[in-house]
Every structure is written in C-alpha cells, then in structure tokens.
Amino acid sequence: MGSTADRVLGVLELFSGDKSEWTVEEAAEALNLPVSTAYRYFRSLATSDLIVSYTAGRYVLGPAIIQLDRQLRLHDPFITAAKPEMINLASEVGGDTVVLLARLYLDKVICVHQEEIGQLPGDVSYQRGRPMPLDRGAASKVILANISAKAMRKLSNGASGLEIDPALRAQLRQIRQQGFAITEAEVDEGKRGLAVPVFRPDQSLEGSLSLVVEGSRGGKADLIAALINTRKAIEATLAIRASMLVNAASSKSSAEEQA
C-alpha cells in the first residue's frame, strides 16, 4: 500500500464506505495488515481525534473530521467561488431544482456543495459527500468527458471497474464537443440531470456544475444556457483569485529581493 502515511490513510478511508464503524481486528483483515500494525495506525488517528472509540473497541469518525469539513466549506476556492453563483442560479431557474457542484474524487465523482429551491419529489442520489460512479448521471459524465487521456487510461486500467465501451466513448465525445451533458433518469427515476464542466484558469478541469429537475420539465435549452452563464461567472472568480495570488507572490518576492 506504499508508505506508512499511505497505510494510515488507508485505514481512515475504510470509514468513508458503507461501513461506519470498525474494530482494529476488522481493519487489519480488510487491509491485510498485522493486528499490531493496525493498532498503531488506529492509535495515531485517535490521538488526532480523526477517529474515536465509542464502545468496546469499536471506532467511528471523530470530531476532527467536522473541523476539516468546516474549513473546506469556508475556504475551498471552488466552493467559495461557486456558492453565491449557485444560489443565484437556483433563484433564476426556479421550480423544484437541486444545484450541484462536484469534482473527481479518486475513481468516483463527489458532490462538494449543493443548493436547493422548491422540493423535488423523492430523494436525489447526488448528495454532498456521497461518492458516485463516473459513468452514470450528467454531473459525472461531463467530468469523465473532460478529463485528460492519461487520467482516462488510469481509471480504465485501475481498480475502479470503469469500462469505456464504444457506446459510452461516443457519448463522452459528444458531451465534450457540445460542452454539456443531459441524462434522463440515469440515477434517479423521474429526474433529469443537466451539467457543464468547470475549468481552472489554466484550462485544467476543476469539476462540474449541474441541475437536477423533474424529467417532465421543459426548457432544456434555457437551463443549459443558465448553467453556462453561471459556469462562466465561477470561472471568472477563480481566474481573478488566481491572478491575485500570483501578484501577491510576485510582490512578496520583489520585496524580499530589495530587503
């Protein structure tokens, strides 16, 4: 599994799946580690309150995770640039709508922020913090369509189980060419997903911005136009902030040279 740090993180990742509590022995078996080694890793994570023991040697995620999540909400550049624009987008499109912001996470796509207006019937599977498959749903497919060829090969050849068959490859090519994805009931019955990619100032992919609406709702073109305009506003904010950081670093370097 690589370095000690990688193995400790591997223990922490166990808690991100469907199983929310673990014993040292269970983790050792799942990761093929000696129990004594797993115990050291648990102790290290518990010391930082990343995990806590709540009963008879069973561990769950600890309060440090909440603190890290708060920092992410407050300071992640993608989230902070997108949040006000997502609120405006939800107000603009109206109706019963969920606005999602997502990014690539290992071999999945994960929603990092969402805004809602109205009340869509039934649950929306794309929820903040829930990893979703790369090949289902507009929010995921628009990311998959815009990642680099190298990243695509890595995902296809890795343990993700992702299979890019000719039909999916053709669909991804079309999504990339047209600049948006629309899917019908691919994830949730009776719901339509519409998504656009969001790029960093260097044109590398940051993530996706998407809408989830009822499948019977009309005005697809208007919804896509609203998504594209919002995407442009987010990208403009990201570019301004990146430029400010570069200028600040340049000014600091100049000041140090003159000192």
- The Cα–Cα gap between 55 and 117 comes to 40
* Domain extent for 16: 4-65
Reply yes or no on whether the pLDDT at 81 is more than 90.
yes
**Co-location of 47 and 90 in the same domain:** no
Backbone angles phi, psi at 84, to 5 degrees: -65, -35
User: Distances from the Cα of 237 to the Cαs of 31, 147, 214, in angstroms?
Assistant: 42, 22, 30
Reply yes or no on whether the pLDDT at 178 is more than 90.
yes
> What's the whole-number mean pLDDT along residues 125-141?
92
Tokens 């695509």 locate to 152
**Co-location of 126 and 33 in the same domain:** no
Query: Is residue 10 in a domain?
Result: yes
- The Cα–Cα gap between 170 and 147 comes to 15
pLDDT band of residue 149 (cuts 50, 70, 90) is confident
Sheet holding 108-117, edge to edge: 131-132, 108-117, 97-105, 205-214, 191-199, 181-184
Collapse the DSSP code of 189 into the 3-class scheme (helix H, G, I; strand E, B; otherwise coil) and give the result. coil
- The Cα–Cα gap between 132 and 97 comes to 19
pLDDT in tens, 50-74: 999 988 889 999 999 999 999 999 9
Please provide the average confidence, as pLDDT, over all residues in the chain.
Answer: 90
- Among 25, 43, 65, the domain-final residue is 65
**Co-location of 45 and 89 in the same domain:** no
Reply yes or no on whether the pLDDT at 237 is more than 90.
yes
- Sign (positive/negative) of CA torsion 203, 207, 213, 216? positive
